[in-house]
Structure 1
Amino acid sequence: MPDAPLAARMRPRSLEEVVGQDAAIGPGSMLHAMIGRGRLPSVILWGPPGCGKTTIARLLASSVEAAFVPLSAVTSGVAELRGVISDAARLRRGGGRTVVFIDEIHRFNRAQQDVVLPHVEEGTVTLIGATTENPSFEVVAPLLSRVRVVRLQPLDERAIRELVERALRDEERGLGRLQLTMDEGAVTWLARSANGDARAALTALEIAADLAAGRGSGRIERGDISAALQDRRPYYDRAGDMHFDTISAFIKSIRGSDPDAGLYWLGRMVDAGEDPLFIARRLVILAAEDVGLADPQALPLAVACAQAVQFLGMPEGAIPLAECAIYLALAPKSNSAYAALGRALEDARATAAEPVPLNLRNAATGLMARFGYGAGYRYAHDEPGHVASGQAYLPESLVGREYYREGLLGAEARLAARWRAATGRERAIQAPGELDEEMTEVVDDGGEG
């Protein structure tokens, strides 16, 4: 309609008009090949807002001449879904086919997904779901196994620029009749500030065009774009992929000793409104896991950072977060404690029935002493250097096992050298990247980095 928003008027009318999604629907893609043979599988289109999920769904249905029935996971219930499936069954008996498009399919509960499952399997309907969330976590496994997941990317600056220029030229659906021009700086600013969202870019362009027309100008300037965008925030989900991907980049940057990258990803999270205590908790984990004994002050500093963030709140809490991130990035690194725990846990699980050696048991009663509890135990503080060298502390089957393998950086090197000299042990150096698989079960906190 002429009075529809510009983003709605400029929706592509064919798959060829879609920009920025060649990998998903362009030549050589699975969908392009199947559409060419007149077939359309059930798919889930997974991508950020404004990347074209709804438009592509409509165009896919049109390409195979199927009826297109849109549903919203927010407003549609099981009864409506059953009615749509019943209509699709009747159409199928007459030789037709139906594409059921479920927007925000990640909001469908298990019961709703179970209703559509057998009809997707039998081919009564072709399902196209759209989601901004990772389908691996939000779609039930039986349904996920019956669909193809197609990943859509946020539009790059070149694609946004192409859409903007197309809207400025188009006299039928766009702004062409207004004969507007646009500063190069304004185009670049809009393409960059849209954050890959075509809908946001075209909405801002329409507002900027009104602002330029309101002052009697035929030229859209950067100031018009800034005013139209206002304080537009980038897309960020506090429980989905952006949340986990960004914290992962943050942790890996600090682990890799890059303070600049760490600060950048911290800035992205702070600007998007991420929970600051979540960030602080990750820094505490990193201090113990990745800096460890190479700098024993890292952990208390990270804990102090978490306390400061809780005490201050935001935005001031970002300052201790930045200080802690820089400190941890600059600190020497050692994962010796993390890896040692993994090795110890492996043996602990395998030898859980091993008795505690008698010399390590406390003889709390005379009867226990008569049974040998505490016999032969050497009190460390009575020994040279306060080390009972040669005394066994492990179960008999594990005597000689070494779980701790020292790092060679910072304070750890000095601590380990003193300990080895006192105990007469040979050096056992932690190999780079060495880690038992079991450790992932110990510290796993939901894949946060």
Structure 2
Amino acid sequence: MTTPLLDPGAAIRLLPRGAAVVAAPGCGTPETLLTALGAHAHVLGSPRLYSGLQLGAYPFLDAAAAGHLTYRTWHPYGPARAALSPGRVDYVPARASAVPGLLDEWRTDAVLVRVSPPDRNGWCSLGPSASYVCHAVERATVVLAEVDPAVPRTTGDSAVHASQVTAWVEADGPACEFPAAARDETSDRVAAHVLGLLPDAPTLQLGIGAVPEALTAYLGESGLRDVRFVGMGNDAMVALFEAGVLRRRDTDPPAVSAAELMGTRVLMDFADRNPAIVLRDSRHAHAPAVLAQVPRLVSVNSAIEVDLAGQVSSELVGRRQVSGIGGSADFVEAGFGSAGGLTVVALTSTTPDGRRSRVVPRLGTHLVSLARHTPDVVVTEHGVAWLRGRTVHERAEALVAIAHPDHQAPLLDSLEET
């Protein structure tokens, strides 16, 4: 490497004072550099950090609490949820396809990434994380890269040349992983209902959670073939290749076209140099106009609540911000425009303790993640509610029918009062 190999603190001190710094998200989280940023933020002139869904320990939050840096995220997760505080840790409501443009508006001085070592031609891989990271590297004047030999060399928009890197550091620990969500009988029943909605040879976009994990696992026994995935890759998809469910590895478009790979070593090892799994920049991977050209695109996303009007809340529990918009708005539009496409909202009918219905008369927040005209169908473990083309009253009746039986009476009462 002709670019210097520095200790993390020395590398972070290369940032301009007051720099706007972008960090790679997910399983590409550059935790070594973020730790150094948190430790040295007090001498960097109040840097501003931006990122999507981060994994790991969020080692910069103490610096934010002390006022030494500010952090903006469009996907609060883990420790960041509790740390949200105006002017220090802030949430930016933004759909995934808009993020590259926002980085231009905010200015991108520097980017922190985790990469594979350069090959003989000087090329490194961003591995599991393309999304907005490619654009940030293109725009930044300072690129700090922590090197990890275990980062998979992925195909697509994930290449960074050594000449683009300002300084290297050695990763001081393993990459962040995203284990599969715990499945249970209820989430499996939801997934089974969703499985029955899928057309032949579908292209699927799945969100995060137990229901998407269960649905992916069920595909292996479904008899479906020529399945594709867009948006995100997870561990459960690996078995689908062996089961012959996904398209062959040498086809174009590829079997998996993802902005992020969210999984464990199982997925990373499988993705290494695998042309069937292609990483795409958000300007492609989340662009509704691009995705709508894909036939039979089925978007399956979770929610916190759905009300009897068909409005969806997926970001807040009460007043507490627990998630971001992510790619859901983009994929909903894409599913609407796709020939034979479908937009599915899938959720369990109650909160985990069973005390509260997640099908409600009106959302518990005035903020709506998806408007009532967007979902084609809502699914719980109790069945399928088709909303597309139905009247206001028919939609409400269909939603009551898939609520938990213990909560249907008050929903019916509210329906009769309207």
Which TM-score tier does this pair reach, normalised by the shorter chain?
Answer: under 0.3
What is the TM-score of this pair, normalised by structure 1?
A: 0.25
Higher helix proportion, which one?
A: 1
**Structure number with higher relative contact order (C-alpha < 8 Å, ≥ 6 residues apart):** 2
What is the TM-score of this pair, normalised by structure 2?
A: 0.26
Bigger-Rg structure (1/2): 1
Higher strand proportion, which one?
A: 2
